Amino acid sequence: MSVQDFIANEVKTNDVVLFMKGTPQFPQCGFSGQVVQILDYVGVDFKGINVLADDEIRQGIKEFSNWPTIPQLYIKGEFVGGCDIIREMFQAGELQKHFEDQGIAVRGAA
């Protein structure tokens, strides 16, 4: 299985996937940590994939999304954005609405 196939499969088979530096329990970059905090706050289950564990995945995800930075959040197979976009969507209430529109339960109104 190629790295692109692996990434496509993860994005397709998990409702919410965060490609990040570190793990959800131990983020190893501030931007990844911020996205984990936002996802935890809205109460969404997600799969974290540590790009630091595999250079091929780290490079592959940038090519997959055509987005140069990590973290990268995918919801129902769709690339939503990195830290700045996720933070702005969260602060505007758009992230919670996007989850709900995709049929993903959130912890209540922000």
- Span 39-68, pLDDT tens digits: 999 999 999 999 999 999 999 999 999 999
Per-residue model confidence (pLDDT) at position 101: 96
Is 29 annotated as a binding-site member? yes
Rounded Cα–Cα distance for residues 55 and 33 (Å): 20
Output the pLDDT for position 81: 97
What pLDDT was estimated at residue 107? 84
Model pLDDT, residue 110: 45
Evaluate whether 48 touches 38 at the Cβ level (below 8 Å). no
Closest CA to 73 of 53, 94, 2: 94
CATH code for 3-102?
3.40.30.10
User: What's the rounded Cα separation, in Å, for the pair 87 and 93?
Assistant: 10
Mean pLDDT of the residues in the chain: 96
Where is average pLDDT lowest: 69-73, 81-85, 104-108?
104-108
Peptide bond into 71 cis (omega under 30): yes
% of the chain with per-residue pLDDT over 90: 95
Residues 42-57 as b/e (b if ≥16 CB within 10 A, e otherwise) read bebebebbbbeeeeeb
pTM for this predicted structure: 0.95
The two three-digit tokens of residue 33, written as one number: 């940590």
